Amino acid sequence: MASLTVRNIPEDAKLRFRQIAAAHGRSMEEHLRQLVIEAGRGDAPLAEGVRDMNQSFHGFEPVETAAHAKSRARIERLIALGRGLEFELPPREVEKLRDVDFG
């Protein structure tokens, strides 16, 4: 089976897609899989999930859950703790590959 990676999705778009997938009782991966499969059927009627995706993300206010707030607080604490710290990375050491006899 093929795989697909989508990069550089705005956070608000990802959150909206997560909510749409949850409304259909699916994970984001499963919902996207179904949308791609249904879109590949040229004669199939427009699925409800595809109609949902026609809604614009502009003006959408993401809902910050307690888990999001907790995660954001942890990240902000880590950033604050790391301010002013400087350290040098040791030089990389390149290991020579060993000759392997497969015979």
**Mean pLDDT across the stretch 71-87?**
84
Q: What is residue 8's predicted lDDT score, i.e. its pLDDT?
A: 87
What SS3 class is residue 28?
Answer: helix
**Average pLDDT in the chain:** 77
Nearest-10 crossing angle of helices 11-23, 28-40: 80
**Mean pLDDT across the stretch 77-100?**
80
Q: What is residue 23's predicted lDDT score, i.e. its pLDDT?
A: 86
pLDDT tens for each residue of 23-50:
888 888 888 888 888 877 765 555 555 5
Q: Reply yes or no on whether the pLDDT at 103 is more than 80.
A: no
Contact 21, 31 (CB under 8 A): yes
pLDDT tens for each residue of 53-71:
555 555 556 667 777 888 8
Q: How far apart are CA 23 and CA 19, in angstroms?
A: 6
The full set of domain ranges for the chain reads 11-81
